[in-house]
Structures are given as structure tokens and as C-alpha cells.
Amino acid sequence: MFQVRFHGRGGQGVVTAAELLASAAFREDRYAQAFPSFGSERMGAPVMSFCRIDDKPIRTREPVTEPDALLIQDPTLLHQAGLLHGLRPDGYVLVNSGRDVDDIGLAEFAARHRGHLLTVPATSLALANLGRPLPGAPMLGGLAALTRGEQTVGLDALLAAITDRFGDRPRVAAGNSAAARAAFDFVTGELDELKAVTHHA
Amino acid sequence: MPYQRIKFYQTGSFAAGNRLLPADLRSVQSSATRANTLTCGHRACQGCGEALGARYALDAVMRATKGKLIAVNATGCLEVFSTPFPETSWQIAWLHSLFGNAPAVATGVAAALKAMGRGDIRVVGQGGDGGTVDIGMACLSGMFERNDDVLYICYDNQAYMNTGVQRSGATPPAARTATTPAEGPEPGNTFGQGKNVPLIAMAHEIPYVATATVADLRDLEYKATRAMDFHGARYLHILVPCPLGWGSSPADTIKVARLAVESALFPVFEAEAGEVVSATPIRRQMPVTDYLRLQARYAHLFRPEERTDVIARIQASADRNVSRFGLLQDHHPERTRLALNGHLPAEGR
Amino acid sequence: MLKQIEGSRAVAETVAMCRPQVICAYPITPQTHIVEALGAMVKRGELNAEFLNVESEFAAMSVAIGASAAGARAYTATASQGLLYMSEAVYNAAGLGLPVVMTVANRAIGAPINIWNDHSDAMSQRDAGWIQLYAETNQEAADLHIQAVRIAEELSNPVMVCMDGFLLTHASERVDIPAQAQVDAFLPPYEPRQVLDPDDPVSIGAMVGPEAFTEVRYLAFERMRRALDVISGAEADFGAQFGRGSGGLVKLYRTDDADLIVVALGSVLGTVKDAIDELRDDGVRAGALGITTFRPFPAQAVRDALGDDDRLRRLVVLERSLAPGAGGVVTADLRTALATGDGGPRGAIIATVIAGLGGRPVTRPSLTRMLTRAARGELPEFSFLDLDTHLVEGELTRIRAARRSGPTAENILRDLAGRS
């Protein structure tokens, strides 16, 4: 089972992101469970959502406490104590930021988890492709690239899920898809660079 | 005008009156094909105003709908005396659910009929003042607000009679009830309280609102029939004296109701979409004491001493109704309507 | 058709296929997505029904009563405070024998106000005369609504389908949404036992005095007894027509050779099963008994499921609600079932664990810890899972120290905030 925990603020599409990931996994004929940290919904409050992916039916209902991947859609949440709590030893962290991991206070963590902690400018990519600061789709594109060996979801399944979800609004679907693809390419590029650096080290 | 301008006040049967009226103005009771929605054998008290009012109202609706009628009844006197298990006095399809939900249940019946393509069957919701004014108010307002296709009839005997004469939101000031006893410096129900549900109904701007009493049964029949000309939410508020709770003689039920009208304590009018369209004028305003003296629930206003202060306040409220509804106008519907809806200066009345 | 879909949506789509004629609802978290989806379907013309936005839950159940009595298939949904607010009408619907179907998106009852999941709402109505079915998954939640309509109409008895608020309603998972034709084949059109018909008028809702009330209530009791068979029949037919197991009275998981069995209702069974597997890997012979039908309480089915050999048997009842002053709710019915009737493990040691109140997550580690203790005989007869004794002690100290100790809930929240 692969477990993802999303962190964001109300209004940033954290729940939709978890559902899209589940939907993509479903398209690849896998079982998926997506649910929010439930609460009185209000804009701007810190929220979490969860997604589990597995090849067999998922029975458990507890929150994800030992995520394999953390998607942090709002970097201002990094100050929250316990944000990275429970992350598996070789888990993945993807942070929505235009800055480098060193610049957001995660240098030490990045060093210990080389290739597993990255930043991706998801909001910028969303603004460029969709016209709105909704980082969910690009974050997922980034996740797909980051965890390519871990069988989360493939880019194609993700794009199909996005198209399906926003089927009644073709421009929104296209914008989100483009942002996801751009983030996928961005993260792929980052990983390639890291590999190159490693080889040269 | 749909009701007669000359009133025949007489004792005994209406047989003489009917013979003098054109056929189309005759009472339902004089028709050979009359309905009998609430048949005899029920357990109402002698002289019960509600039994009389319900029978006339529903017979009129039955005639207007050619028998395609379902009634929903709130808990209360009417429900209890009409269905002493295993007997029922109702000759129509009838449902009783709870005390406070008759309007909502009626809404449900109407929705079901619509869903099943039986919009030809009409729905009446009915209850006493308790189930309408107090505990049923939320459901009533909801029904009004959605404009559900239900005629709701309130039989107002001004207290919770079925449970032993307790005060309701329809109990008039100074009236004695079990929970507003005639004791202390301000005996009876408190002044400055109470709800005027016909006005509340009008505030919802529903298609038709009317008041009536059992003193003028032709008028009551007319209003029940008129209400069925409309679709959407309609409200009929009928004053029905209760000899037991009011402490009046069973033989005086109609007389007491008539005095309520003629003293202007109970204005009789019709409204459509929130505006008054007609008010029954008073031929000669009777002093409220004529009305109050007939009822033991006001006995404390006369014995051991006459409480002229309290009576004066009651009289003032009656006088206010006269000016507010234009009840002493030379009968002029347009003036009445304009006056009531605030379009005429006060002095003109 | 297989879909990755939110639980509420799955229920809405399935309910729509049951061809309800009157849908009435008042919004309350966490049921809102169900009725919103149904409302949208009606508005778009996809569902031919009357959809009413009523002014309260009391009105919602009342509208359903009127609609059902007039011969229409009626549906509503609520939770928690809303279920309490309509309680008078809930009893009324059962007493009148009207086949209303209602979704209860299980949520805690205040005070203190809490929007998260537990079973206190449905449990508060367990004696109202409604059939109560508890869904373990969103698949089952959808399927149970189809079965509920048939069960309700066959018996002329209302049915509430309970699904855990948020945990099921707001979780997206794989659900097989049936085809309209399948549902139509399973559900005949509603043929009322009693109906308001001007052409054949009857009075419904008479007052019944001492001379006959007992007999009328006996017949309601008898209806519930027959319901056990009707529910099993619906489960069997559903399985045959839809090709999957859903509904019924009880479900068993690895109980055959178990000497420690967890008894639970609703979605927590999923996490329980994972814990059972972990215990089994550690050599503990654990199993689970899921109760799908809580009312009528399937006493014989429970006895049969647990078997009656004399091997020492420990039962842990995982309760999602609390009976203050008495303890567990399900425990009471279970103890009665095991102390009466034919068969069943007479010597079972029963422990009650109150868990997941007000949405506190019931985690697998927590369960395995507790069950390991149970297997060793170290679990008390009655306990609260994951109780923060420090918080509790703090408030008790405060209460002992001063008369005006202040509101308990607020004090505890302040203590919690002080920690972080």
C-alpha cells in the first residue's frame, strides 16, 4: 500500500487533489481511498487530505499516520510542528515552492533524503497554465514523476483523471492537465540533475 | 359580492332562509347531493364550535373538489373527538400524524399526489390554534414559504382545549385559562402577547388568506370554496367558540361568535397575495362587554367588581380593529382595502 | 458500473435508481452531499421526483410521512441533532407502519457540539421501531439502500441505513453502481398496505386506548421479528441478482477457529480486519463479528455465528456510542442474546471498549495493543480506548478544587491548547 498525505489550506483544492490521485489509480485498475481531514470547512484554515493506493481492497479507515509521501501545497505550513510526522524513512516530500529546498529550511532533511525531497513551483505553473493559483494538479504531476519507481500513478492516468473530473469545463481540464504535465517534466528534470550530480560526486 | 348583503337572523333552521335565496347562494346543507365529511356520532361537547366549523368547511371543500380531497389533521380536540377508536366520524381519506406537523404532513401528501400525477386530488391540513399558532408555526411558515398546494384551516378556540384549557399564542388578553388563572392584580392572560396568524400568513404573501366564524356559515362556506379556486398555500382562520373552555352556554356558541364579530374583536376579512381585498362590515358595533359577559373565562372582569380598566383596554383593541380594517365603513371594498393597506390617511377613517 | 466515487454520491445515485417519488431534506453535516446530489438530479430532470427543501428535520420526516401515507415512495436523510429533532416523527412513522427509507450519516450528538462520526445518533432511536442497517463500506451503503426500500415496503416498516459520517460519506472509493434495469428488477413499484385514497377513504392515525394499545404494539414487535427473515431474504436475492454479498444480519471474519472475537458495527470493521490479520500473524487466533442489522437485533444469528463449543471465548465489543450510567449499548443486546435462546458460547468473557467517540480515529496500532491485552486477559470489563487520563484528571482536580470550576468542555480544550 502507498499512502499519501496532503497538506494545504482550505480553498487550495487539497481534497480534490486526493480524489484526483485516487481516480488516477482507479484508472490503472488499482484500489484507492481518498478522504479529507474532516472539519468545518473554512477558507485559509490548515487542512489535510489522504490517499491510499493498493492492489487489493483497502479496508482501514484511520487517517494516514505513516505516509509514504507528503504533498505540501502551502509552504507556509512548514512552520507547523509535526508536519513531517510519521513520514516513512525513505518517504517522499514534495513542497509547493519556487525556492530551493535549502531556502525553505529543509536543507538538512534534503541531505538525508537525497532525491526524495523536492520543491516544485506548483502555484506558478498553475497560474501560467490555468490562470488560477490552484496547485493540486501540478503537485500530482510532480508526485507522479517523483515516485515513478513506486507505482503511484502514471502521468497518463493522472491526465485522464483530470480530464474526467473537469469534463464539463474543458478549459479548466486543459489548464490543469498542462500544469500537471509541466510539473511532471519539471520534477523529472530535477531528478535527472540530481542523478547527474551524484554521478559526478 | 359572493355573500348576501342582507343577513337573515333567525332562530331554528335555515330552511326559511334557504327558500328565499337564489339556488347558487344556498347552503351546502340544503343540497340533496351534499357531502357529509364529518358525520354524526363523534364525541364533541354539546355546542362545540369546532365540530360545526369543521363540518361546514370540509363539506364546502368537498363540494368544490367534487369529492377529491385528502385531509391531514393535527392532534387536538377535532382529531380526538372525531376518531374514538375503533370508530371514525370521517367520511373522507384522513391522516393524523403529530401535534406540530400537520402543515408539513399535508405538504408531503400534496407532493406525493403531484409526483404520482394526481394533482386533481386536493389537500387540506387542519388543526386547532395550539397546533397551528404555537407548535405548528415552524411547519406552517415553511409550507407558506414554499407555497405548497395546501389549504390550511385553523379552528381557533383560543386555548389548548383538548388538554384542559391551557393558554396558547391565540389566547386573548385577560382570558382565564388553566395556565393564566384569574388571580392576582392582573388576572387572566397577559396583555401585549399573542400572535395574529392571519396577518403572519399575509406577510408570507400566499395566494389567499381569510378569517371566518361559525356565526356566518354561508360566509364560511364561501371562503372555503373560494380558497379552492387557488393553487398554492392558502390559510383559513375560523373562530370557533368552545363552551367548556370559554365557560359559555352550549346554546350560545353561534351567538358568542356573532358578538365576537360585531364587537370588532374578531375582524372578518379576505386577503390575496398579502393585501386585504375585502372586510365584512359591522352593521352596528356592539360593546365588548356584551361579548365578555357571556363567558365565564372573563367572569373575573365583572365579579366581585367590574374591572373597567381591563375592559377599557379590550375595548380599545376592538376599536383599533374597526379603524384598521375599516369595519364601520359604508361598505366600500376599495376604500377598505386601501385603508387597511395603509394607503389612506388615518383621519379619513 | 465500477466508479471511484465519494460515498455520498454513490448513495445519491443508488437512491435515485430506487425511483423515490418524494425527497425531502434539511441540511446537516455530514449528510449534505447526498441530498445536494439528489436535488441536482431532480433539477436537471434526471430524476423524476418532488424535491422539497423543508424548514427542519422535524418537517422532513413529517413530509415523508404524508407522502408515504399518500402512496408515494419517500426518502430523507439526516444525522445527529437532526435525527433527534425529528425523533417524534421518527416514532410516528414506525407506529403508523409507513415504509419510509432514511439515510443516517452517523454523527455524535452534542453537547458538546461535534460534527464527527460515532453511532450515538442512530442508537438514540434504537427503540423507535425502525429497522437499522449499518454499512461497512460505501459499496454496502449503496447496496443497503436498494435492499432497504424492498425490506421497508414488504414489511410496511421504515428502515434507516446508517453509514459513518465523513468516514464513509466523504471518502472516495471504488463502488459498483448498479444499472437502472437491475434495480428495477429488484424493486417492484410501491404497493401500499394502507393509503389515503378519496375513492376508498380510510382514517389513519386514530387514538388507541388501553384496550388495544398493547395489541397494536405487539404487532409492531411481530413485524420486527419477521424482519429478520425478510432481511435475510433480501440479502440472498440481492446476492443472486447483483452478484455480491451485501446486507444481511451479521458478517464473519476469520471466526471459525477464533478464541478472541471483536464485535463491531459500521466502517470501523475495516480497520478491525487489518488488526485481526496482524494479530493472526502474531499467533493470536482473532476474528471479527460484524453486525449489519442492529434492529431487529439478530440474536440467533449472533449465537450461531459465535458457535457453542466450550472453548474459552473472549468477546470484545467495540462500541461507537456510550450509554452514560450503563456502559455499552451493543454490549447489552449482545449479553442478552448470549444468555438466552438456543446455542451460543455460554462461557464467553465479554469486554466493552468504548472507541471513536466524536470522531476520534480508531487506529490499527491502538486496536492491536488493546486486543493483545484482551488476548492475555488483561483488558478490564469496561474501558475507553485511547482515553487521555491526564486531561481527565486535570478537569477532575479543577472540579474538586472549586465550585465555580467552569464549563468542562471549554476547560479541557484550553488544557489541550496549552499543551501545544
Residues B296-325: pLDDT tens digits?
999 999 999 999 999 999 999 999 999 999
Say what percent of chain C tops pLDDT 90: 91
**pLDDT tens-place string over residues A132-161:** 999 999 999 999 999 986 778 999 999 999
**Looking at C242, C274, C305, which one is the last position of a domain?**
C242
pLDDT at residue A8 greater than cutoff 90: yes
CB B261 within 8 A of CB B53: no
Average pLDDT, chain B: 89
- Here the cell at position C11 is 448513495
**pLDDT tens-place string over residues A71-123:** 999 999 988 878 888 999 889 999 999 998 888 888 888 888 877 899 999 99
Domain count, chain A: 1
Cβ contact (<8 Å) for A19 and C6?
Answer: yes
pLDDT at residue B9 greater than cutoff 60: no
* CATH fold of B15-348: Rossmann fold (3.40.50)
Decide the pairing of beta strands C286-291 and A117-120.
unpaired
**pLDDT tens-place string over residues C250-260:** 999 999 899 89
> What is the domain-level CATH number for residue A104?
3.40.920.10
Give, rounded to a whole angstrom, the gap between the first and last alpha carbons of chain A. 34
**Looking at C208, C223, C242, which one is the last position of a domain?**
C242
Give the span between the Cα atoms of B284 and B258, in whole angstroms: 12
Of the two residues B25 and A41, the one the predictor is more confident about is: B25
B and C interact (at least 3 Cβ pairs within 8 A): yes
Concatenated DSSP letters of B284-339: SPPPHHHHHTT-GGGGGGTSSS--HHHHHHHHHHHHHHHHHHTTTSSS-HHHHHHH
Judged by average pLDDT, the poorest of B26-30, C311-315, C400-404 is: B26-30
Q: Which of C49, C65, C202 sits opposite B93 (nearest CB)?
A: C202
Q: Which of C29, C172, C174 sits opposite A19 (nearest CB)?
A: C172
Confidence tier at A30 by pLDDT (50, 70, 90): very high
- The chain B residue lying nearest C53, using CA atoms, is B146
Decide the pairing of beta strands B122-128 and C22-25.
unpaired
pLDDT at residue B266 greater than cutoff 90: yes
Is the bond into C30 cis (omega within 30 degrees of 0)?
yes
Is the domain of C194 the same as that of C286?
A: no
Decide the pairing of beta strands C131-134 and C293-295.
antiparallel
Whole-complex ipTM: 0.90
Give the span between the Cα atoms of A38 and C116, in whole angstroms: 8
Query: Quick one: pLDDT at residue A198?
Result: 72
B69–C contact, CB cutoff 8 A: yes
Interface of A with C in 127-186 (CB under 8 A): none
pLDDT at residue C356 greater than cutoff 70: yes
Provide the 10 A C-beta neighbour count for residue A108. 10
Give the span between the Cα atoms of C412 and C408, in whole angstroms: 6
Give the span between the Cα atoms of A176 and B277, in whole angstroms: 60
Query: Quick one: pLDDT at residue C213?
Result: 94
CB B59 within 8 A of CB B36: yes
Q: Which domain holds residue C401?
A: 390-419
Is the domain of C7 the same as that of C111?
A: yes
Read off the pLDDT of each residue in C172-186 and give the average, rounded to a whole number: 97
Domain count, chain C: 3
**pLDDT tens-place string over residues A32-61:** 999 998 765 567 788 999 999 999 999 999
How far A26 CA sits from the closest chain C CA (Å)? 6
Is the domain of C199 the same as that of C91?
A: yes
Cβ contact (<8 Å) for A32 and C271?
Answer: no
Query: Quick one: pLDDT at residue C334?
Result: 96
Confidence tier at B349 by pLDDT (50, 70, 90): very low
CA quadruple B306, B312, B317, B321: dihedral positive or negative? positive
Confidence tier at B340 by pLDDT (50, 70, 90): low
Confidence tier at C100 by pLDDT (50, 70, 90): very high
Query: What type of residue sits at position C184?
Result: D
Query: Quick one: pLDDT at residue A40?
Result: 56
Read off the pLDDT of each residue in C222-245 and give the average, rounded to a whole number: 97
Neighbours of chain C (3+ CB pairs under 8 A): A, B
Residues 6+ positions from C285 with CB-CB distance below 8 Å: C257, C258, C259, C260
Cβ contact (<8 Å) for A22 and C271?
Answer: no
Size of interface B-C (CB pairs under 8 A): 157
Confidence tier at B338 by pLDDT (50, 70, 90): low
Residue C329 C-alpha from the chain's centroid:
13
Interface of B with C in 140-199 (CB under 8 A): 141-142, 145-146, 148
pLDDT at residue C44 greater than cutoff 50: yes
A3–C contact, CB cutoff 8 A: no
Read off the pLDDT of each residue in C318-331 and give the average, rounded to a whole number: 96
- Here the cell at position C68 is 408515504
Concatenated DSSP letters of A8-35: EETTS-HHHHHHHHHHHHHHTT-EEEEE
- DSSP 8-class letter at B172: P
Read off the pLDDT of each residue in C135-164 and give the average, rounded to a whole number: 98
- The chain C residue lying nearest A33, using CA atoms, is C173
Is the domain of C226 the same as that of C288?
A: no
Q: Which of C6, C164, C363 sits opposite A62 (nearest CB)?
A: C363
pLDDT at residue C47 greater than cutoff 90: yes
Which residues of C are less than 8 Å from A40 in CB distance? Answer: 29, 115
Average pLDDT, chain C: 95
Read off the pLDDT of each residue in B54-66 and give the average, rounded to a whole number: 95
Neighbours of chain A (3+ CB pairs under 8 A): C
Decide the pairing of beta strands C314-319 and C260-264.
parallel
Residues belonging to chain B: 349
Say what percent of chain C tops pLDDT 70: 100
> Which of C173, C278, C320, C360 is the best substitution to test chain A (most A C-beta atoms within 10 A)?
C173
Judged by average pLDDT, the poorest of A192-201, B143-152, B240-249, C373-382 is: A192-201
- The chain A residue lying nearest C273, using CA atoms, is A59
| Lookup result for grid cell 340533496 | B32
Confidence tier at B26 by pLDDT (50, 70, 90): low
pLDDT at residue B348 greater than cutoff 50: no
How far A195 CA sits from the closest chain C CA (Å)? 36
Cβ contact (<8 Å) for C363 and A65?
Answer: yes
CB A44 within 8 A of CB A10: yes
Which residues of B are less than 8 Å from C62 in CB distance? Answer: 97-98, 101, 104-105, 107-108, 139
- Here the cell at position A177 is 492537465
pLDDT at residue B10 greater than cutoff 60: no
Provide the 10 A C-beta neighbour count for residue B203. 13
Single pTM value for the model? 0.91
- Distances in whole angstroms, Cα of residue B89 to Cα of each of A93, B44, B54, C194: 76, 11, 12, 18
**pLDDT tens-place string over residues B173-223:** 999 999 999 988 889 999 999 999 999 999 999 999 999 999 999 899 999
Give the span between the Cα atoms of C49 and C46, in whole angstroms: 9
pLDDT at residue C65 greater than cutoff 70: yes
CB B149 within 8 A of CB B232: yes
| Lookup result for grid cell 419477521 | C226
pLDDT at residue B14 greater than cutoff 90: no
Give the span between the Cα atoms of B67 and B36, in whole angstroms: 10
- Here the cell at position A56 is 487489493
Query: Quick one: pLDDT at residue A149?
Result: 67
Cβ contact (<8 Å) for C30 and A38?
Answer: yes
Query: Quick one: pLDDT at residue C282?
Result: 95
Give the span between the Cα atoms of C65 and C194, in whole angstroms: 12
Confidence tier at B29 by pLDDT (50, 70, 90): low
Is the domain of C133 the same as that of C189?
A: yes
Query: Quick one: pLDDT at residue B310?
Result: 96
Q: Which domain holds residue A191?
A: 2-200
Is the domain of C119 the same as that of C172?
A: yes
Confidence tier at B345 by pLDDT (50, 70, 90): low
Is the domain of C230 the same as that of C365?
A: no
Query: Quick one: pLDDT at residue B347?
Result: 42
